[in-house]
Amino acid sequence: MGEEKKPVEKVEEVVEVKKEETQSIVNDANDAADRIEKANAKREELIDREEALKVKESLGGKAVAGEGKKEETPEEYAGKVMANEVETNDN
């Protein structure tokens, strides 16, 4: 009626298997961490390049800021004057 005792060899074998599984899991985690670090470094490099490109565009006049006022031809101006659509400084 006592407890069944496992042979020492079986216990040592189970412990060895558990150690191998643990080492495998740790190795997999380390490999994943390495991949994440490499991906983060690449992402940081891409962000730096994107920021540099945006600065270059803004200094080069290519920033998204709306377009300039369209110049009128003399004919268009005359048409506005005749239609009384031209603002004057007369008060």
- Digit-coded pLDDT (tens) for 32-66: 999 999 999 999 999 999 999 988 888 876 545 56
Predicted pLDDT of residue 1? 46
Helix (H) or strand (E) holding 30, with range, is helix 8-59
In a domain, 2, yes or no: no
pTM of the model: 0.44
Whole domain around residue 42: which residue ranges?
8-82
26-53 CB burial, b ≥16 within 10 A, e <16: eeeeeeeeeeeeeeeeeeeeeeeeeeee
In a domain, 34, yes or no: yes
- Reference 35, options 43, 45, 25; nearest CA is 43
In a domain, 3, yes or no: no
Which comes out higher in pLDDT, residue 15 or 2?
Answer: 15
Predicted pLDDT of residue 43? 96
In a domain, 91, yes or no: no
Q: How many independent structural domains does the chain possess?
A: 1
Measured CA to CA, the distance from residue 20 to residue 34 in angstroms comes to 21
Predicted pLDDT of residue 75? 92
